[in-house]
């Protein structure tokens, strides 16, 4: 299981993710949907630890 609580991430000095809460349970398929520039890739990079601290 993956659980995020109140995750905040910045892209440079701009706030990219603000207080995201997410729970992904094992064995269930999930999708992340949204318009261009809404933070989908930033969220995944944050989860993987690829965003600058």
Asked whether residue 53 carries a pLDDT value surpassing 80, the answer given is no
As for how many domains the chain has, the answer is 1
Q: Residue 53 falls within a domain, yes or no?
A: no
- Predicted pLDDT at 23: 95
Q: Give the domain range for residue 27.
A: 2-48
Q: Residue 25 falls within a domain, yes or no?
A: yes
Asked whether residue 52 carries a pLDDT value surpassing 80, the answer given is no
- Nearest CA among 5, 8, 35 for reference residue 22: 5
What is the spatial distance between Cα 2 and Cα 26, in angstroms, rounded to a whole number?
Answer: 8
Question: What tens digit of pLDDT does each residue of 2-44 get?
Answer: 999 999 998 888 898 999 999 999 999 999 999 998 889 999 9
């Amino acid at each position: 299981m993956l659980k995020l609580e109140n995750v905040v991430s910045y892209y440079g000095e701009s706030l990219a993710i603000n207080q995201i809460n997410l729970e992904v349970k094992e064995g269930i398929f999930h999708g992340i949907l949204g318009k261009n520039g809404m933070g989908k890739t930033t969220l995944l990079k944050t989860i993987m630890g690829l965003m600058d601290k």
